Amino acid sequence: MSEESQPITLEAFAEAIKELPLSAVYAKVSEIRNSLAHLRRSNSELRAFIDESCESESDKRELEGYIAENEGVITTMNERIGFLKTEIENRGESWIEEEVEADNKGDGDQASASLSSQPIVNGTVGDERPRAHQDATGRPEDTHTNEEEGVYL
């Protein structure tokens, strides 16, 4: 990472998320979980390359340095998720999330596990919105029979 561009501190992150709407806080959780999955996959691929193909000791050290840097970023991202959890709870919402052990440790590609472990608020996952009413066959009911067209919230 360049010396000119540094990520915001954890303290500044905690302050910044206080200003976000709840939906943006949940979106940030999903964004970070996605980044974590990519970093873990990258580290796994780097380790495999080191073990199977890397011949030069200097190349191995360089690649191991990249892995260590990624591990540091993973730690920071997990701390940010902790701040997001605290923010959600401070707003009076429940943080009901499956704890995916691989989110805190592990090296494999956890994209599917990360996506399935979204926060649940008021019985819905993340920012999920209510679905249309369905009839007995599972098809959406026609609830707009004598109503004007438009967007209804």
Phi, psi dihedral angles at 8 (to 5 degrees)? -70, 155
In this prediction, residue 5 has a pLDDT band, given cuts at 50, 70 and 90, of confident
What's residue 31's pLDDT?
Answer: 95
What's residue 81's pLDDT?
Answer: 96
What's residue 88's pLDDT?
Answer: 94
**Do β-strands 124-125 and 120-121 pair in parallel, antiparallel, or remain unpaired?**
antiparallel
CB-neighbour burial class of residue 19 (10 A; exposed 0-12, middle 13-18, buried 19+): exposed
- What does the pLDDT look like over 111-150, one tens digit per residue? 334 333 444 444 344 443 333 444 444 444 444 444 455 5
Instruction: Kindly list the domain boundaries of the chain, sorted by start residue.
Output: 26-89
Residue 119's CB is within 10 A of a number of other CB atoms, namely 23
In sequence order, the 6+-apart residues with CB closer than 8 A to the CB of 73 are 39
- What does the pLDDT look like over 21-42, one tens digit per residue? 999 999 999 999 999 999 999 9
Report yes or no on whether pTM surpasses 0.75.
no
- What does the pLDDT look like over 53-106, one tens digit per residue? 888 999 999 999 999 999 999 999 999 999 999 999 999 998 866 544 444 444
What's residue 95's pLDDT?
Answer: 80
Contact (Cβ atoms closer than 8 angstroms) between residue 17 and residue 28: yes
E strand intervals along the chain: 120-121, 124-125
Nearest partner of 20 among 151, 152, 127, 128, judged by Cα: 127
